[in-house]
Chain A
Amino acid sequence: MKLDAKIPDGPLAEKWDRHCFASKLVNPANKRKYDIIVVGGGLAGESAAATLAELGYNVKNFCLQDSPRRGHSIAAQGGINAAKNYQNDGDSIFRLFYDTIKGGDFRAREANVYRLSQISNSIIDQAVAQGVPFARDYGGQLANRSFGGAQVSRTFYARGQTGQQLLLGAYGALMRQVKQGRVEIFSRREMLELVVIDGQARGIITRNMLSGALERHGAHAVVLATGGYGNVYFLSTNAMSSNVSAAWRAHKKGAGFANPGFVQIHPTCIPVHGVHQSKLTLMSESLRNDGRVWVPSRVEDQRPPAEIPESERDYYLEKKYPSFGNLVPRDVASRNAKEQCDQGKGVGDTGLAVYLDFSEAIKRDGAASIRRKYGNLFDMYERITAGDPLREPMQIYPAVHYTMGGLWVDYNLMTNIPGLYALGEANFSDHGANRLGASALMQGLADGYFILPSTIGNYLAGAGTDKINVAHEAFEQAEQDAAGQTAKLLGVKGTRTVDDFHRQLGQIMWNHCGMARNRQGLEKALKLIPELRAEFWQNVLVPGSGQELNQSLERAGRVADFMEFAELMVEDALAREESCGCHLREESQTEEHEARRDDDNYSYVSVWEHQAQDRPKLHKEPLSFENVEPSRRSYK
């Protein structure tokens, strides 16, 4: 596998401009001769599909949902970062870049992160022009709030529904292009295979989820914006249909998978309540602007929170990290919550929760003001738990939320398979070992609105305009493979349901490849996963047929891929014998239980190559830092 990141020369601030100028262009009259497939109905996919169509390309957009307005970006609550410095509080493009690369614990590329930071401002301009109703001050200017890992206010927001509003903005842009005949929408379609001809991505095989029919789609380039793989844990804040399948099928066709072990565990989620729970719900990080995190000072203190006096409360984040306090980055907040609970100071029925308390903010600003800021989150919390955060502290606990790992891409967002691109959470590019809050929306939209539309021309200009022939034997073979997998799943006719297997896989991953990892646990997982996978293929029960709407079959296909992918995650976590960002190897900690990074030996991106018969092969893309000094992250 050849990995060339194609980072442009020149000073950091000029790389992107220089790169755009040096890239080949496709003239406007020729753009209509190119077909581009965009898989995914979230922010990255829709912004890319709409923008490529505006440029004049023919676009086919695929999504699992019944409409392209429902991708899981829609659930992002808190906001989107940009370096506008509207608050005049010392922000700049360089500071957003620095915060992001530091937040990622120096495991991302300088050039990519700087570009993201440069583009951030244009995203806000674009969204406002589309009619996204961001929060505003009385004077009519845009309002900002703070997020973890930053000491400036640079987060733009639309109540607690920022992702929804941004996605509907992109959806509107996409609908406009559908009306103009430049985009064709294929909803309720699942990508089952990538088609590679002469080493180039040339199309996909999809399953029509209503009829079960397999369909061939050819194109000059294929763009995967298919999200993250958090659902490998079964319980996560992801939507139920979020999956790794598209990325995994591309990986099996030769695309490198980068840093699969990097998984963000979000600190503020509603705790697990019972065995039938199907998903976990996030409470936005923005709550930490006004909420104070605490546990009882005494171990196993069972008193209700109101009866615990101030002197017997441990505001452990404020105590340990005085300069960032409750706004430390997510990995630090999560790890500390786990540490408190492991010491027996956790609260609630299960002891696996800490308090997030708004009483001081309510005293300071009044209940009405706090309600205005967080009303919809408080309502959601009350619907799920029957508790009112205005009267008693919330209970929160960390949960799997976002995956920094993804398909390896170069500076152009192209994978190592020519013509195959990956955007948004599906790639690995910008967040290193830990993503800062309000940066996922920023990255998805930077990739889709601005980066891909500027870089894809360079590839297409040399790709030829001949229509792709879907009768080619590579399409035939890929379709047969997809049909074979479906038949195999339906043919097992075992006794255990798909969810049953998925839950067990999730437990293995949470116990051994979750918030804290060690060699012993990871090696155990490497034994347990293949055993479970073998049982899955002997004993899974998938009812119904392949020629109809069959939701069990859909889930079975995704879980089958998770069963393979989980092993790669564990391999990656095992190979990285350092702690960095979200990846805590218990063997590599400071005395204060902070992550101990090892730059001498692990300052690289791990890129895995699939091997049909053997364990995956590790390649390394070294990271070099010329503009920032990789320091030990300190939020004290």
Chain B
Amino acid sequence: MMKKIEAIIKPFKLDDVKDALVEAGIEGMTVSEVKGYGRQQGHSELYRGAEYIVEFIPKVKIEIVVSTDDYAQKAVEAIATAAKTGKIGDGKIFVSSIDSAVRIRTDEEDEEAL
């Protein structure tokens, strides 16, 4: 059963997370720069003597699709370990099922395509 893992992490943890995933045998991932609003509730900045709240904080979203539950389990553990700082705002990991996949270059399908 193919699984998708989406992880929202702190941007400066991206390299650590990538290394951990590669070590766990995950060969590819898609990364995007995103902004989030969660328990961190933004942070305050100072501009010309006036404080203001930056509500949406920059985060990085990693998306991975793997072929088995076993790989999904490994990926989640790798991300959770590598992205943890123990401070508020470390992010979240979501796992969901994937119905189908196609590799565009070769027309391979599903697990073959990953």
Are A and B bound to each other? Answer: no
Interface of B with A (CB < 8 Å)? none
Binding site for B on A (CB under 8 A): none
